[in-house]
Amino acid sequence: MSRRFLVVSASMGSGHDAVAGELARRLTARGHRVDRTDVLGLLPAGIGPGLRSGYRAAIRHLPVLYAGIYAAFFRPGPGPRPGSAPLAALAERRLLDLVERWRPDVVVPVFHLAAQLTGRLRAGGALPVPSAVVITDFAVHRQWLHPGNDLHLCVTADAADTVRRAVGRPAVATGPVVAGRFFAPAPGAADWRCRFAARAPGRLPVALAAGAWGAGSRLAATSRLLASAGYLPVVLCGRNERLRRELSRSPEVWAIGWEPDLPGLLAASRAVVDNAAGQTALEALAAGVPVVGYRPVPGHGLEGVRHMAALGVSDHARDAEELVRLLDTLTAPGAARDRRIAAGRRLFIGDAAACLAEVGRVAGAAHGAAGD
C-alpha cells in the first residue's frame, strides 16, 4: 500500500539535498508519495539564508572560527553544552502546518537541525507520526541526537552503536545513500578518459573534491603538489567560480565547475582526494575509486575523514609526503588498490528507503486501526 513521506532536508551545500533526492526517488519507485521541504525555509524570514551564508563564509574563509563553533555546539563535553533547540523551536509551527496539510505517515529528517526539530515535537507529543532520521555523517555529533526521534538510519554499524548508546533509541546501519548512477558503469567515463589523456598525456588523473561551495584549505598548493608528483590534478570547484578561475591560471591544473556528469568523471579518475568525508567521497566509493582524506575542513570534515580511515574504507594523509605515497600505491593496479575499493563498496550494505517503507507500513497500519 502506498504511504506518504515528508523528507526534511537543508540547502547547506548539496550533500543533504542529494540524499533527500535519492530517498525520494527510491521511495517513489516503490509506489510511495514523497514531499520534500528545506528546514532553513521553515525558519522565520532571513534566518535560514543567514545561517547558510555564515556557515559558507566560515568554511571558506574562517576555518578556525568554525572549529570553535563545532567544538562548542557539536562535540560532547562535561556540563551543560549549547545546542540548537532554540533555533529548532522557531521552525516548529511551520513544520506542523505542513504535517497537517500533507498528512505524511513518516517524517524523515536528513539534516541535524531537522532531527532536533522532529525530536522535540515527538517528545512533546505535537508530532503525531514517527520521525526516522537519516544520519549522513560517519562521525555522529550530538546535534544529530534527540531521544524523541523514533528511528535512526546510519552510514555504518559504528555510527548506529553511537546513537543507541547516546539516546537509547533504535538505530540501524543501512549504509550511505548514493544515487544508483554511481554504481552502474558510467557511460561518460570513456569520454573523460580521452579528455584526461589529451589534456595531460601519461599523467594519471586525480580528482580533488571541494564540495558544492568549493571550500578547502590550500587547494592550489595541493594541486601543485600533485602536478609535481606526476599526476593531473582535476579540481572539482563546485559552484565557486572564483576558485575555478584562480586555479585555471595554472596550466598543470584542470579546474572544473559544477559538473553534471560526475559519475563519468569519477569513474575515469584513479583516485579522489577529499577534504570533508561528504557526499562526493561516498559517490567515489560507490564508483569503485579509492579516496584519500587530506587537509580536511575543521569540525565534521576532520572527524569524518578520521572515522572513514579508522574503518578502513579510505586513507588519511597527514602531510604532503604521505599523500603522494598513498596515491602512488592506490592509483597503481594491485592488491592495495583492490582492497580499498572492496572495503568502500562494502559500506553499501542496505537500503535506507526499504527501512523507511517498513516504518511507513507500520505507521499506516496504526493510523488505520486508530481510525476504525
pLDDT in tens, 209-222: 999 999 988 999 99
Q: 115-168 pLDDT, tens per residue?
A: 999 999 999 999 999 999 999 999 999 999 999 999 999 999 999 999 999 999
3-class DSSP state of 8 = strand
- Prediction pTM value: 0.94
CATH for 4-178+349-371, options being 1.10.357.10, 1.10.3720.10, 3.40.50.970, 3.40.50.2000: 3.40.50.2000
* pLDDT over 80 (residue 279): yes
pLDDT category at 362 given cuts 50, 70, 90 is confident
pLDDT category at 372 given cuts 50, 70, 90 is very low
The topology (CATH level 3) of 181-345 is: Rossmann fold (3.40.50)
According to the model, what pLDDT value does residue 104 have? 97
Closest C-alpha among 67, 71, 47, 49 to residue 58: 67
According to the model, what pLDDT value does residue 188 have? 96
For 128, residues 6+ apart whose C-beta sits below 8 A from its C-beta are 99
Average pLDDT over every residue of 43-66? 92
What cell does 303 get?
Answer: 572527524
pLDDT category at 364 given cuts 50, 70, 90 is low
According to the model, what pLDDT value does residue 170 have? 96
Average pLDDT over every residue of 336-357? 96
According to the model, what pLDDT value does residue 365 have? 58
Q: What is the mean pLDDT of the chain?
A: 94
Residue with the larger pLDDT of the pair 366 and 87: 87
First-last CA distance in the chain: 18
DSSP conformation class of 39: G
Identify the burial level of 335 via C-beta atoms within 10 angstroms of its C-beta, where 0-12 means exposed, 13-18 middle and 19 or more buried.
exposed
Say if CB 189 and CB 268 are below 8 A apart: yes
Where does the chain hold its CATH 3.40.50.2000 domain(s)? 4-178+349-371, 181-345
According to the model, what pLDDT value does residue 216 have? 87
CA distances from 283 to 19, 153, 173, 270, 344 (A): 11, 18, 18, 14, 10
* pLDDT over 90 (residue 75): no
Task: Report the distance separating Cα 356 and Cα 294, nearest Å.
Answer: 34
